[in-house]
Amino acid sequence: MKRRKWMICLLVLAVALGLCGCGQNNAVSAAEPLMLPVEPIRPVKTERKQLIGEKESMIEYAAPLAYVLAYPHMSNEEINNQILDFVQGLKGAFAEQYDVKDEKEKRRLTQKDCDKFLYLDYDSYVVSEDKVCIVFYETQELGQDVLPVERVHIFHFDTNTGQRIVEKDIRKDGFLEAASAYTIQYFTQNEPYKDRIFGDYKTTLAPDAGRFERFALNSEGVIFYFDRYDIFPGSLGRVDLLIPYSELPGLLNGVGVEAPPVAEEEETEPIQPIEKPEREIDPDKPMVALTFDDGPKPAQTERILDALEKYGVVATFFDLGSLVEAYPDTVKRELELGCEVGSHSYSHKNFNTLSEEAIAEDVKKTEEAFRNTIGVEPTVFRPPYGNCNDFVKEHIPLAMVTWSVDTLDWKSKDPDAIMKVIRSQGDLDGKVILMHGIYETSAEATEELVPYLLKQGYQLVTVSEMAQYKHGEQLEAGKLYGYSYFQ
Ligand code: ZN
């Protein structure tokens, strides 16, 4: 009897876990409904680093598709062309497969209708004096209940010629055998792998089984990538294994003999928060809040800042943590002009599909980026795509702010069309206007929009000031301020 009760308890627990996991988590739990709770284990990974090249970032909405692509810009044009070809190729293939073919239907869609996402992130390494390695991580999110598609793309380049080097020309005889032996030994002896590796791993990890042909090189060794479900349960995600060069002596052509020194990260002084200039706001006069998402993107954001500065007004910038790190000077200028800088997440993921751990990790990374760059953490958050379901609301420790007027600037890319949306709104008092700080056309529209609003008698305020002066309250962490609030 006792035993039966236990069985029922376990069954109930398993079902409950399976159900909770489905909606909110990424599809790991859906694919493994019978697995008991998985403690958050971080697979051993080499430090994620973008050691070379300037970070380029491209966010593009083409509802129902959205692209969030980061890639390095190198000093060698030959290499850049190959990187761009690769990025455009990925985009093209994604659109080909998933875009809505009906033009009329496509025109009707807004940013909130984005439901297929292509993400690209990267690591870039110095391998040796004349070789670099770029590893791209592609993720396709195709829906709430579909497992994301994840792929690793590896490029090695000769920095003198700009030519791509293929892995086949780097490895020597005996490399596959040595890599296989090391990997089997590592995974069968170390946590958290040794009890999780799938049954017939010796066959899967045999030298000729195709797992060791592709690899990335950095200054320390050779990195192999094992896809989710390849040799471990999906809960471990993709597993990266670095084999130090010393374990593969004489098995590589022209690399790994002596690793070049890795540039030490400079010690930085703690950042002093930037003081906000004094401004006077009349709570009885009409006010409107301009907001710019997805930046900073220096050229366009600076042009917007020029327009704000010219008229002595402010806006709110919802910046991405990854770009705050890349372009600190632009963010500092936003603050110096008295603008509010909020978080738009670290890398623009669709939060409605993230797990609790993934949300927490994104929040932490963004806080760090802000703290290390401008000395303060963000207090307001605009969810990417405006996607903010109850689960997200519960787990974001910031005030969440969406908008009440969507200029559709990302779609029209036309200053006149943007102004037309604004003029058609009627009374704008208390409203929050959504724009994007990464398009030339949005910057151009701002130059017209600011004097227009001032002429109409509006004060330009930040979103926090709007809450304070229009509603007499401070924005509160964990609450969503959306369309109905900013009316
Ligand atoms: Zn955005």
Rg (C-alpha) for the chain, rounded Å, is 25
Beta-strand ranges (E) seen in 267-420 are 287-293, 316-319, 340-343, 380-381, 399-401, 405-406
Determine the distance separating the centroid of ligand 1 and the alpha carbon of 286, expressed in angstroms. Answer: 27
The predicted pLDDT at position 453 comes to 98
Determine the distance separating the centroid of ligand 1 and the alpha carbon of 278, expressed in angstroms. Answer: 29
Torsion of CA 110, 116, 120, 121, to 10 degrees: 90
Check whether 289 has a pLDDT greater than 70. Answer: yes
Q: How open is the CA angle 379-62-308, to the nearest 5 degrees?
A: 45
Q: Three-state SS for 278?
A: coil
Integer Cα distance of 280 and 465 in angstroms = 11
First vs last C-alpha separation in the chain? 61
User: Which residue reads 């690399």 in tokens?
Assistant: 255
Determine the distance separating the centroid of ligand 1 and the alpha carbon of 356, expressed in angstroms. Answer: 20
Q: Tens of pLDDT along 309-357?
A: 999 999 999 999 999 998 999 999 999 999 999 999 998 999 998 889 9
With CA atoms as reference, report the closest residue to 131 among 115, 155, 153. 155
Determine the distance separating the centroid of ligand 1 and the alpha carbon of 240, expressed in angstroms. Answer: 30
The predicted pLDDT at position 25 comes to 34
Mean pLDDT, residues 417-436 taken together = 97
Determine the distance separating the centroid of ligand 1 and the alpha carbon of 59, expressed in angstroms. Answer: 8
Mean pLDDT, residues 445-449 taken together = 98
Determine the distance separating the centroid of ligand 1 and the alpha carbon of 51, expressed in angstroms. Answer: 26
Integer Cα distance of 438 and 307 in angstroms = 15
Determine the distance separating the centroid of ligand 1 and the alpha carbon of 341, expressed in angstroms. Answer: 14
Determine the distance separating the centroid of ligand 1 and the alpha carbon of 63, expressed in angstroms. Answer: 13
Determine the distance separating the centroid of ligand 1 and the alpha carbon of 260, expressed in angstroms. Answer: 39
Structural domain spans, the chain: 2-164, 175-247, 287-481
Q: How open is the CA angle 98-103-107, to the nearest 5 degrees?
A: 95
> Please, what CATH class does the domain formed by 287-481 belong to?
alpha beta
> Please, what CATH class does the domain formed by 2-164 belong to?
alpha beta
The predicted pLDDT at position 48 comes to 56
The predicted pLDDT at position 36 comes to 32
Determine the distance separating the centroid of ligand 1 and the alpha carbon of 17, expressed in angstroms. Answer: 32
Check whether 264 has a pLDDT greater than 80. Answer: no
Determine the distance separating the centroid of ligand 1 and the alpha carbon of 348, expressed in angstroms. Answer: 6
Determine the distance separating the centroid of ligand 1 and the alpha carbon of 5, expressed in angstroms. Answer: 50
Check whether 5 has a pLDDT greater than 50. Answer: no
Sign (positive or negative) of CA dihedral 6, 8, 12, 18: positive
Determine the distance separating the centroid of ligand 1 and the alpha carbon of 229, expressed in angstroms. Answer: 31
Determine the distance separating the centroid of ligand 1 and the alpha carbon of 384, expressed in angstroms. Answer: 5
CATH for 175-247? 3.90.640.20
252 φ, ψ (degrees, to nearest 5): -130, 145
Determine the distance separating the centroid of ligand 1 and the alpha carbon of 268, expressed in angstroms. Answer: 30
The pTM for the full model equals 0.79
The predicted pLDDT at position 255 comes to 79
Q: Tens of pLDDT along 197-232?
A: 988 899 999 999 999 999 999 988 999 999 988 899
Determine the distance separating the centroid of ligand 1 and the alpha carbon of 53, expressed in angstroms. Answer: 24
Determine the distance separating the centroid of ligand 1 and the alpha carbon of 344, expressed in angstroms. Answer: 7
Same CATH fold, 287-481 and 2-164? Answer: no
310 or 276, which is more confident = 310
Helix-helix angle 298-311:440-455, to 10 degrees? 10
- Give a three-class secondary structure readout of 194-230: CCCCCCCHHHHCCCCCCCCCCCEECCCEEEEEECCCC
